Amino acid sequence: MSEPTRIPAPDGVFPAAQYSHVVTATGRLVAISGQIAVDEEGKIVGEGDAESQARQIFENLRRCLAAAGATFDDVVKLTFFVTDMAHMPAIRTARAAHIPDDRLPAASAVQVSALVRPEFLMEIEALAVLST
């Protein structure tokens, strides 16, 4: 696969500070379902703690990507579902541990009234593209 092209600020669009407005890639699509803060035994990690939950979710995403033969370098889109936008700094910190600022994917953040269980503060899904 050729390297995904990231366009953080297309002409006429205000520059994005925390994501790329456009990412183009050619190859095989890998869709990672929304990940929640559970460990490999299904136990909730970081109940009430956004930073712990975000770290666990990014570790789960890393493992899911690896299962598909992908890495965070292949991620072209992240979608964040949060119960409170105040959790976004914790997500950005966890994301920065896996994705450098010069490789930011496209992203969306959506505040939701609830997730599948009340203990979860966030859920994150990813799209990646691999060479065919």
pLDDT tens sequence for the chain (132 residues): 467 888 888 888 888 778 888 888 889 999 999 999 999 999 999 999 999 999 999 999 999 999 999 999 999 999 999 999 999 999 999 999 999 998 999 999 999 999 999 999 999 999 999 976
The backbone torsions φ and ψ at residue 91, rounded to the nearest 5 degrees and listed phi first, read -65, -45
User: Is residue 73 a contact partner of residue 100, using CB atoms and an 8 Å limit?
Assistant: no
Q: What tokens were used for 23?
A: 């990412």
Report the C-alpha dihedral over residues 105, 106, 112, 115, rounded to 10 degrees. -40
User: pTM of the entire structure?
Assistant: 0.90
Structural domains for the chain: 33-130 (3.30.1330.40)
* Single-letter amino acid code for the residue at 87: H
